[in-house]
Amino acid sequence: MSIKKDFGKKLKELRQARGLTQFQLAERVEIDPKHMSHIETGRSFPKADLIEKFADVLNVEYNAFFNIKRIKSREDIICEIKTLLNNYDDEKLHIIYNLIVNVLI
């Protein structure tokens, strides 16, 4: 896969995890929805300032779009988990709860 396709795939995953449509994310970062589509499909690659806007709107660090691994503190991990959980509906929360209780504990 190319960097453009990898970036677009990750952006789509993060957008969907937050329950946003392409149109909604495009509006929030102030770009044309067609450009948004081109980025997610790997036909276009955003400039650095747009990557920062995506990260801000999606509440992630910019390196979340690139498979950059870094050691996170316990507090950072808990904060990220809380952010993710706040974006899920009740049904998904119950599934996650059951997964934790039945598999991890």
Residue 69: count other Cβ atoms within 10 Å of its Cβ. Answer: 7
Residue 87 DSSP one-character state: T
Best CATH choice for the domain 3-65 from the list 3.40.640.10, 3.40.50.920, 1.10.260.40, 3.40.50.410: 1.10.260.40
Residue-wise pLDDT for 24-39, tens only, equals 999 999 999 999 999 9
Q: How far apart are CA 82 and CA 72, in angstroms?
A: 15
Q: State the amino acid at position 6 in one-letter form.
A: D
The pTM (predicted TM-score) of the whole model is: 0.64
Residue-wise pLDDT for 51-72, tens only, equals 999 999 999 988 888 876 666 7
Q: DSSP H helical segments within 41-73, as ranges?
A: 48-58
CA distances from 77 to 11, 23, 52, 97 (A): 20, 29, 20, 17
Domain spans of the chain, in order of start:
3-65, 74-104
